[in-house]
Structure 1
Amino acid sequence: MSWKIGRIEVSSFKAFKHINLDLGTSSLLTLDGPNGYGKTSIFDAVELLLTGQIKRIHNLFSTLMTKNKANYDDNLFWNTRSGKNDLSIKIEFVDGERKLVLARHAPVKTFETKANNRADKFKHFSLYELPDFYSKAYTAANKRENEFLDKIFGSNFRENFSFLNYLEQGQNKLLHTRVDERKDALGSLFNISDIAAEIENCRSITARLTRHLNDEKRKAEENSLNTECTALREMVQADLGSAEYRKLSTIEPGPSWDKEDPFPTYDRDVHAQFLEFIRKLSDLLPQKAAIRIRAGNEEIEANINLHAESLSSLARLGTDMGKLDDLDQTKKEIDQLAKATAILKKGPSVITAEQARTLPGWSTDRLEWFETQITTRNDLQTKNTANDSAAAELARLKQQIFEEHAKLYPDDKLCPLCGNDWGSHASMLEAVEERAQKIADALGNDGKALVDLISSMTTELATIETHVREREAILKPGYNDALHKTLTAAKTRLPAIQQLDERLRAEGIQITFTFNEDEVVVASRLEELRNLMRAKKTDEVVTPPDDWRQIIDTVFKDLQDFYIFDPQDLKNKALYIKIKANEAQSSKLKKCLDALQKIRRENDAAEKAKDKVNRLRATLEKAEQKYADQTISEIELIFHIYSGRLIQNYQRGLGLFIESRDGKQLRFLTAEKSDHDAVMSMSTGQVSALSLAFFLSLNKVYADVPLILIDDPSQSLDEVNIASLTDLLRCELNHCQLIVSSHEEDISAYMRYRFNRAGLTTSSLNMQRLAKEAL
């Protein structure tokens, strides 16, 4: 393919606000002008578009900047002086009648994300294939991946761009790479990357196999299996006879040693635990009597603790624990009598029929008569004036006061209403009756009738009141409010307390005391009850082991099952466990041997695989070295000629050689035999010439795209080297499109002159003038 650059347009990139370069069809294009006017920026723009990165900037960033900082406020590539405009690089490629327009584009909003401003980040510069040079259709349909460039310009074009098509300002970095690493740097150029990847895979596989073989955990497992196999061989016994399986435990689920298959997989520690438990259970069997005594004593103590609250209540209530129902009934009647007293105090003037019905002690038909009186009273109270009603009520109250006063002071001569001294009690009563008669005479007929009615009703209620007082006199002395409250609080526990009382009576412990709320008395009673219960314990002559109950509870549902247990059954169980352990040991030995054999087979297979991989790697390394050696030999003659033409005044001989050391290295040698690389004995200008010679040799042999970019070769070359370079380019590489920058106009003019003499077209772009025109 013969793609060449026709036009370049750069917007908002580095030094350029906007610049448009027309390269035409010239074989040589020189970019002229002083330093600082964007010559290198043009090369950076081309490299960014064709490779997706600027390698020089990437290397400088990794050398100079810290790795940890991710966000930067400014972007090295975006020219903000042009305003908030998108960054774009556009190049039109020409191949005869064919044209191809490629572009890199980054919208303004991209740079608002500070992480995109890292100088070694280029992913946000997207690649586009445009329909024409003037298009700005940066759409998803026109977007291309970087692999598209390799498809257009040839395999590995992007990786080899800096070796074949573009020589940066100064010396080629490859020359300052260690001699045994130069070949690896040119791996994609020599087409040995795939072989190198396979060699690395071989190394990785070998390392993994080695780690697998040397794994400490695996070795420990192998040693452990070996030791276990040896131990199991010693433990496996001859025929132990037979024993029938019989379940001994009565608890569910039973212990593991009582299962039909106690050893799903043999374990020495589990076997020892089973035998130890059988021994402990066997030691308990002769102590059944002692255990029965201990269990009885513990049961007594457990009952004391279990019924602690009921015992405390029993010590407080005593024989009165069953009186709750009687006290409830008595309390109910006392409350009813109190309610009746409250009603009676209201008097006949206001008592209602409903209230009268709730009063106790009515004689036959008297309640019905009293209800009739209430109806009549209500009618009279409606007809009478307020004064008549008040007078009737006063008459009643007067009568009630004097009756109550006479009960307390039967011979008192002082009036209980006004306190006047009448000389004698009889004189006081006559004065009161006289006054009452005057009040009565002042009333009307209905008023008098109301007074008489109230008087008769008062007499009837006095009978009821007498009945109420008599009942209260009978009930209140027999009612214990503290006992009632205590029984009510313990109502839900009374059945348990009564059951405990019956159990104590059955054991000969009689409760003879009554209710007492004195805490000292109650505490004394409680302690006495505990002592009486503990007195039922039996003295222990033989002391069982501390874990006797834990052993029995592990096997038996209750103690009765232990008491009837036959010792011969336990001996049979011990034999059964030994037989099953022997069977499990034999099975475990077989499994251990199989596992050990598996590990050893895997080790043998890994060793064989490792040996095969090592042989394969050796074969690949030899093939790689042979191919690299052959590939290097392809450029050796051209490099010798080119270096001789560019370095004409070298004191160690004309022309340099390349040595590959069987494809392992890439070393530059002089005509004089030396173990040192030629770069070490050269001046800066000579190294630059060597760099050019090697770069042009690689381009001559390997480049698929006829494009050569050289950034300011005159920086380090003298006039003789420049003249040699010009002749070399116009004679050997005249099929290529050459873009060369120079800050010296006479050198630029000389190069164009030599090309013109050879009949090749040239053109020049003055970057300083173009920059001013773009302002």
Structure 2
Amino acid sequence: MIKVKKISLENFKGIKPKTVFHFDIAETHVNILSGPNGFGKTTIFDIIEICLTGEFKRVELFDHVQKKNNNKNKPFFQNTDGENVILKLWVHNSTTNIDHIIIKYYDDGESPTKIDHGRDFIPADARNIFTTYLTTDSTHFTEDNFSTLSPVRQTEINNLFYGVDSTVDLASIYYLFNYIQQADSIYFLRKNEDDKGASLGFLFNIEKEEAEKQKLLELKSNLIRQQTLINQELEQLRKSLPDTQSGDYEKLFKEKDFDFDKEKPFIQLNTAIEQLKSFQDILASLTILKNNFSPDEYEKSIKYKKLNDEVLSNQQILNAILIRNIYTDELIANIEAINSKIGQANNFLQSPNTAFISKEYFDSFLASPEEYTAYAIIERDIKAINRDLGDIGKIISEINSSRNQTLEEFKKIKHTEHVSDTNCPLCDTNFESFEFLEQAINIKTTSLQVYSSEKLQTKTNLEEQIKIFHSRLTESATEFIAANNITEQPVLALLREYSALKEKTEEIFAIYAILGSSGMKAIDFSQSPKTMAEISEKRALLKAFLERDLLSELLYNEQLIDNKQLYVHYFDADRTKFSEITIEMIVAKSQYILGSYAQIANSRLTFLESREQKLSNLLQHITSIYDKVHKSIQEHKVELIEKIKVPFYIYSGKILQSYQQGLGIFVEIHPTGLSNNVRFKTGHSSDHDIVYHLSSGQMAVVSLAFCLSLNKVYNTNENFKFLSIDDPVQTMDDLNIHTFIELVRNEFKDYQIIMSTHDDFTSRYMKYKFDKFEMNTEIQNVQTIVLESTFN
């Protein structure tokens, strides 16, 4: 026998500190959770539910309450954000004497935030974000280090209670056999008749038979689906099957590969019908094209659009057309040379007529080598004189200055006794008298000054000869400027662009012959333009000429070039290829395609007819077997459901008491085509379900009675006899409570029962009654236990 010993919770819902509840004190049969609302009685039932079933049924029922279009900041069950949530359930198996600890762990840092939903922490997703552990080591109940444990699936917990070979899921029976919720204790009674029947299916212990029947049903459904698809395909094939022969294959487009033009245009029949329609549409379009299309008009349209789009609206191309006749490979170099020479001439004209002349000016304006040779000699002589005058003139000036100064000083001291006034103070030469000495110095000074004047006169004569060269060069430069105009830089840039546009320009000239006609003579440049104004003027003339004399000739009829894309795609816009293919050839191709389709369709038709016959025989056999199995199972269910009628009638009557003078509730089952309809009736003349007659309180009592009768009759698990009832007193009056206690203590003495109530008097009364009949009962005040955990 498996019993719940303890539960532990931490940071879960309204309870933050680690809190432990004991349910194994002194062989307790009944535990009553008491205390005011809001302190965690329902929380305890939630912990048992999530640990056993892995679900929050009450949360899932309220899934529709709030929208799921935004993230939530934390799980609804987490008390304090940023801290882990730990739930533990300790159960003991007295048969094997083994303890099992079921752990539900939410790691705030590592656990996922979403599994089945697109947003974080949606309540209906809460059950998925727990990690589940199962261990027999009881130390894990007090310790919170789970690093040595491996996560387990819900199936392992199911196997703990129902055995390894069982297919029963705790979540499928827990809410009928083991738990009546405070929030929705009558959820089962509110289901429709089909859903009630489906929920009771596991009671009949025929899961294997139901599974086999389901396999037969799926097989039957699959066969019917296949038969339907085959019949649909047969009907479609028979309607589309043409009465024609394929004829001989002849390729329409010799240089192209199109699916409709292949020798075998259809590979698979499942796509052949769509292909056939597509091929027929293409051939029909080609026939219309042959009848209506004009290659002449198409070519005019191409020229018209090209002229508009690529020539008239493109200034670069218009400029290139104007330049084409004057452009040579040397043109730009010649223009740049002229521009450079004009600049050189202007620079020379601004220089003084006595300045030395660079050789480049002679090269440009006096090309004779002898001229520059004669000039170079003059320049050399002037430079030599400049050097001499520069050095000798300085020496002469210093000598004369020194002589004059020495002579003046000598005059001052010549009358002293130690100085001879007849000896030269410079060289100590003796003269007859001081006057002769002074005369000799002056003669020498004059001689030096005469030498410097001669050099200057020679330089002046040479400079006059340079002026003659200047004059001749000035005349030549002036004549060159007068004979040539400078070309603007934007014009040069435009000429440089021509090489990149040359190929395109030649293409345009090849297309439009008028560009080489006599009408262009007045427009074309006869020589290289100098200014952008000239180019702009000519460009305007060219544009007007093309619009007047060419564009009007290229006007075309749009109706004669409908479907021009077909002309391009299939015939490469080639009039020769277009004329080679006739309408008769297109008609022959259409007949060939129909014949090819008929050939593949006939083959498929024969195969499908054979397959349909085999399917019909097999389906007839399978249907016969399924009908027998289904009938046997339905009859078996009806027989077994009869067993619950009497206990349920008695239990509901005992607890209801005052309703219908103590009469109970009837349960009926009606087999239908694929399920069993289950209905609860009051027993009087009305055949309506009890949901239309009983109050919510009475419905809760019926739900409780139904749960007890299920446990009594079917006893699905001898190993786990457990009832948890969340505050049954809310919907019972005093008489109901008394009869409920009487029923439980007489019929369910071997069950472990956990129930709750907010009424202290009722909890003490229930303990008194249960204890009186030797069902050990403990009252646990949830408020007191939680507050103790908080303060400790």
TM-score normalised over the length of structure 2 = 0.62
The separation in 1 between residues aligned to 2:5 and 2:542, in whole angstroms, is: 120
The separation in 1 between residues aligned to 2:330 and 2:84, in whole angstroms, is: 103
Report the alpha carbon displacement of residue 161 of structure 1 after superposing the two structures with TM: 1.6
Report the alpha carbon displacement of residue 378 of structure 1 after superposing the two structures with TM: 2.1
Map of 2:710 onto structure 1:
698
Contact 1:334 1:475 in 2 (8 A): yes
The separation in 1 between residues aligned to 2:589 and 2:146, in whole angstroms, is: 79
Q: Is 2:678 the partner of 1:666?
A: yes
Query: What's the CA shift string for 1:731-753, capped at 9, x where partnerless?
Result: 44333333444541553244234
Map of 2:68 onto structure 1:
68
Pair 1:660–1:327, CA change in 2 (3 A):
closer
Map of 1:136 onto structure 2:
143
1:54-203 equivalences in 2 (<5 Å): 54-59=56-61, 61-62=62-63, 65-68=65-68, 77=77, 86-95=85-94, 98-106=97-105, 109=108, 115-116=120-121, 118=123, 121-128=126-133, 129=135, 131-132=137-138, 134-142=141-149, 143-154=151-162, 155-168=168-181, 172-191=186-205
Q: Is 2:39 the partner of 1:24?
A: no
Map of 1:3 onto structure 2:
2
The separation in 2 between residues aligned to 1:370 and 1:601, in whole angstroms, is: 120
Contact 2:249 2:263 in 1 (8 A): no
> SS in structure 1 opposite 2:4?
strand
Segments of structure 1 that go 5 or more residues without pairing to the other structure are: 288-303, 389-439
Query: What's the CA shift string for 1:659-698, capped at 9, x where partnerless?
Result: 3224723344677776345676667776555444432222
Contact 1:685 1:717 in 2 (8 A): yes
Report the alpha carbon displacement of residue 444 of structure 1 after superposing the two structures with TM: 1.5
1:80-479 equivalences in 2 (<5 Å): 86-95=85-94, 98-106=97-105, 109=108, 115-116=120-121, 118=123, 121-128=126-133, 129=135, 131-132=137-138, 134-142=141-149, 143-154=151-162, 155-168=168-181, 172-191=186-205, 229-230=241-242, 233=244, 267-271=279-283, 345-347=353-355, 360=366, 362=371, 367-368=376-377, 371-385=380-394, 444-465=449-470, 467-468=472-473, 471=476, 479=483
Map of 1:48 onto structure 2:
50
After alignment, is 189-198 or 550-559 more displaced? 550-559
Query: What's the CA shift string for 1:70-123, capped at 9, x where partnerless?
Result: 656787655669x97855344342515713242444458479979548387333
Contact 2:92 2:100 in 1 (8 A): yes
Pair 1:686–1:767, CA change in 2 (3 A):
same
Aligned AA (1:135) = T
> SS in structure 1 opposite 2:189?
helix
The separation in 2 between residues aligned to 1:553 and 1:668, in whole angstroms, is: 78
Pair 1:631–1:465, CA change in 2 (3 A):
same
Map of 1:298 onto structure 2:
none
Report the alpha carbon displacement of residue 31 of structure 1 after superposing the two structures with TM: 1.6
Pair 1:746–1:552, CA change in 2 (3 A):
closer
The separation in 2 between residues aligned to 1:331 and 1:363, in whole angstroms, is: 24
Aligned AA (1:21) = H
Contact 2:51 2:104 in 1 (8 A): no
Contact 1:165 1:708 in 2 (8 A): yes
Aligned AA (1:24) = I
> SS in structure 2 opposite 1:174?
coil
Report the alpha carbon displacement of residue 139 of structure 1 after superposing the two structures with TM: 0.9
The separation in 2 between residues aligned to 1:529 and 1:691, in whole angstroms, is: 97
The separation in 2 between residues aligned to 1:502 and 1:671, in whole angstroms, is: 109
Report the alpha carbon displacement of residue 457 of structure 1 after superposing the two structures with TM: 0.8
Query: What's the CA shift string for 1:388-417, capped at 9, x where partnerless?
Result: 9xxxxxxxxxxxxxxxxxxxxxxxxxxxxx
Map of 2:423 onto structure 1:
none
The separation in 1 between residues aligned to 2:358 and 2:570, in whole angstroms, is: 78
The separation in 1 between residues aligned to 2:725 and 2:594, in whole angstroms, is: 82
Query: What's the CA shift string for 1:10-63, capped at 9, x where partnerless?
Result: 45555655344252353532426455365544434333332233434543x347
The separation in 2 between residues aligned to 1:380 and 1:471, in whole angstroms, is: 34
Map of 2:596 onto structure 1:
587
The separation in 1 between residues aligned to 2:689 and 2:372, in whole angstroms, is: 145
The separation in 2 between residues aligned to 1:207 and 1:621, in whole angstroms, is: 14
The separation in 2 between residues aligned to 1:93 and 1:276, in whole angstroms, is: 88
Contact 1:32 1:39 in 2 (8 A): yes
Pair 1:592–1:382, CA change in 2 (3 A):
farther
Report the alpha carbon displacement of residue 448 of structure 1 after superposing the two structures with TM: 1.1
Map of 2:748 onto structure 1:
733
Contact 1:380 1:446 in 2 (8 A): no
Map of 1:755 onto structure 2:
773
Contact 1:658 1:669 in 2 (8 A): yes
Segments of structure 2 that go 5 or more residues without pairing to the other structure are: 114-118, 163-167, 267-274, 297-310, 398-444
Contact 1:504 1:510 in 2 (8 A): no
Contact 2:767 2:779 in 1 (8 A): no
Query: What's the CA shift string for 1:597-652, capped at 9, x where partnerless?
Result: 67777887888888778767655643442342243234345445555665677757
The separation in 1 between residues aligned to 2:683 and 2:571, in whole angstroms, is: 102
Aligned AA (2:22) = L
Aligned AA (1:451) = L
Map of 2:412 onto structure 1:
none
Report the alpha carbon displacement of residue 152 of structure 1 after superposing the two structures with TM: 0.7
> SS in structure 1 opposite 2:128?
coil
The separation in 1 between residues aligned to 2:638 and 2:263, in whole angstroms, is: 72
The separation in 2 between residues aligned to 1:666 and 1:33, in whole angstroms, is: 36
- Compute the RMSD of aligned alpha carbons: 6.8
Aligned AA (1:736) = Y
Report the alpha carbon displacement of residue 768 of structure 1 after superposing the two structures with TM: 6.6
Query: What's the CA shift string for 1:220-248, capped at 9, x where partnerless?
Result: x9888666544x63xx69x8xx999999x
Map of 1:635 onto structure 2:
644
1:508-527 equivalences in 2 (<5 Å): none
TM-score normalised over the length of structure 1 = 0.64
Report the alpha carbon displacement of residue 459 of structure 1 after superposing the two structures with TM: 4.0
Pair 1:126–1:327, CA change in 2 (3 A):
closer
The separation in 1 between residues aligned to 2:630 and 2:462, in whole angstroms, is: 136
